[in-house]
Amino acid sequence: MATQKNDSTDIEVVLKDLKKINKGSITELKSLINPSQLIKMVMEAVCILLGRTPTWEQSRKLLSDVNNFMQQIQNYDKDNISPEVITKIRNEYTSDPEFSVEKAKNMSGAIWKLCSWVIAIEKYDNLKKSADGK
C-alpha cells in the first residue's frame, strides 16, 4: 500500500471527512463520461466494498442517489467484511502505488475522500485481524 499519513487512514477521521463531501462534487464525479484510471479504480473499490459490480456504469448508478450513497458509506459494516472482498481490495487496489490519497487529491474532493475511505477500511480490517490474532 502506498504510504499514507495516519490521519488519512484513521477510520473515524475519514468518516468525519466524508460528511464534508458536498453534493456538487458527487454530481460532478457522476457526470464524468470518461474518468481517469484512478477515479475508476477508487469507484471500483467502493463498488466492491458495497457489494456492487465494479464498473463505471455501476459507480454512476451508486452516485445518482447522493444521500443513499453517503449513508451506505457512513454505515458500512467494517467489522464484517468477507475475506474474499478484503483480499480483492488489498490485491487489486490498495497495494497499487497509483491508488493513493495524494494522487487522488489532484482529481476531486469527493474522490480523494472516497480513496481515503477504501484505504481506511482495508487498514481497519488488517488491524482488527491482527488484534484478534488471525
Q: What are the tens digits of pLDDT across the range 21-56?
A: 888 889 899 999 999 999 999 999 999 999 999 999
CA distance 71 to 51: 15
Residue type, 61: K
* pLDDT of amino acid 134: 56
Determine the straight-line distance between the first and last CA of the chain, rounded to whole angstroms: 20
Higher pLDDT, 22 or 97: 97
Average pLDDT in the chain: 87
